[in-house]
């Protein structure tokens, strides 16, 4: 099922991932949104998020783009479209610790098994703890992909993934360096992007919208599709539409209530989204 919306052809939504859910942001507490508090530059700030379980449609863009406001950072961007809506999913490529974001890492491995044949797929992020045979807990983070037949695609098994190296900082503390590991995943992503480009998939052709949407599509969204050079010219904007324009996908009631809980923060993962 696609992220549910009322009739608004051609609308573009900007989605991010946190705590195993897609979410979009707003500047006010609109219907279906929940308050989200976060730390930025030493201050506690507040934004508003609406969460979704999944997004469905045709995959029309896969790329790695520089962040507009911090050119040292890159984002993995996917665009999923159907006849009614366009969803742009943005995932930070790296964490603040320098490792590849676990959502991005898992998604790359699953994209290996996508056929890129133009049929719709469903993407559903997840984040949970599982109990191992030895009684220890392991954090499971990623983005599941289901194809048009309902089959859940497995993540590719990669052999020879480089382990992070250990060096010393200026006060003698151990620091993990992920350069070789990051190059490994970057190479895998580039191969996927080339495969996607070769498939010839492009934006969904729609009839002219009957109403004018308040969302503005990035000026270079189609011109730079699948090109690993720079981010689309327009930065994802917060949703400022009437609350009646969208419906949140069905999700457990606890999901919204947990939105202010402390994020799970194992050694190589944290919620780096400053909004």
Per-residue pLDDT 10s for the chain (275 aa) are 444 433 333 478 999 999 999 999 998 999 999 999 988 888 899 999 999 999 999 999 999 999 888 878 999 999 999 888 899 999 999 999 999 999 999 999 999 999 999 999 999 999 999 888 888 898 899 999 999 999 999 999 999 999 999 999 889 899 999 999 999 999 999 999 999 999 998 776 655 434 333 333 333 333 233 334 333 333 333 333 333 333 333 333 333 333 332 333 333 334 445 55
- Contact present, 49 and 272 (Cβ < 8 Å): no
The pairs formed by 198-202 with CB atoms below 8 angstroms and a separation of 24 or more are 199/116, 199/117, 199/118, 201/58, 201/59, 201/60, 201/116, 201/118, 202/60
**85-92 vs 74-81, strand pairing mode:** antiparallel
Q: In the prediction, which pLDDT does 273 show?
A: 56
Q: In the prediction, which pLDDT does 274 show?
A: 53
> Would you say residue 154 lies in a domain?
yes
> Would you say residue 261 lies in a domain?
no
Q: In the prediction, which pLDDT does 84 show?
A: 84
Structure tokens, 125: 């992020």
- What CA–CA distances, in Å, run from 52 to 6, 43, 102, 218? 15, 28, 19, 22
> Would you say residue 94 lies in a domain?
yes
Q: In the prediction, which pLDDT does 253 show?
A: 32
Count of domains observed in the chain? 1
Summarize pLDDT for 213-234 with one digit per residue, the tens: 333 333 333 323 333 433 333 3
Radius of gyration of the CA atoms of the chain, in A: 19
Distance, CA of 184 to CA of 175 (rounded, Å): 20
**43-52 vs 55-66, strand pairing mode:** unpaired
> Would you say residue 216 lies in a domain?
no
Q: For residue 30, give its domain range.
A: 11-211+223-228
Distance, CA of 24 to CA of 11 (rounded, Å): 13
Q: In the prediction, which pLDDT does 61 show?
A: 94
DSSP state of 53: S
> Would you say residue 78 lies in a domain?
yes
> Would you say residue 75 lies in a domain?
yes
> Would you say residue 81 lies in a domain?
yes
- Contact present, 69 and 230 (Cβ < 8 Å): no
**85-92 vs 11-18, strand pairing mode:** parallel
Q: Whole-structure pTM over 0.85, yes or no?
A: no
Distance, CA of 221 to CA of 219 (rounded, Å): 6
């Amino acid at each position: 099922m696609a992220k549910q919306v009322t009739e608004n052809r051609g609308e573009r939504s900007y989605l991010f991932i946190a705590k195993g859910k897609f979410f979009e942001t707003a500047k006010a507490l609109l219907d279906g949104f929940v308050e989200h508090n976060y730390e930025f530059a030493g201050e506690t700030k507040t934004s508003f998020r609406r969460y979704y379980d999944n997004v469905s449609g045709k995959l029309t863009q896969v790329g790695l783009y520089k962040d507009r406001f911090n050119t040292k950072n890159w984002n993995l961007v996917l665009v999923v479209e159907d006849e009614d809506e366009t969803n742009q999913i943005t995932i930070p490529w790296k964490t603040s610790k320098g490792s590849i974001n676990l959502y991005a890492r898992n998604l790359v491995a699953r994209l290996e098994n996508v056929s890129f044949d133009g049929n719709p797929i469903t993407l559903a992020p997840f984040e949970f703890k599982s109990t191992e045979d030895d009684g220890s807990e392991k954090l499971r983070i990623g983005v599941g992909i289901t194809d048009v037949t309902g089959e859940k695609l497995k993540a590719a098994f990669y052999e020879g993934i480089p382990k992070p190296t250990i060096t010393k900082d200026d006060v003698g503390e151990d620091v993990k360096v992920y350069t070789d590991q990051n190059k490994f995943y970057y190479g895998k992503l580039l191969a996927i992007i080339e495969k996607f480009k070769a498939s010839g998939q492009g934006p969904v052709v729609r009839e002219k919208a009957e109403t004018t949407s308040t969302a503005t599509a990035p000026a270079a969204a189609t011109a730079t599709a699948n090109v690993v050079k720079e981010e689309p010219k327009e930065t994802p904007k917060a949703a400022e539409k009437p609350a009646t324009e969208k419906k949140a996908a069905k999700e457990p009631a606890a999901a919204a209530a947990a939105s202010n809980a402390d994020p799970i923060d194992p050694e190589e993962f944290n919620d780096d989204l400053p909004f």
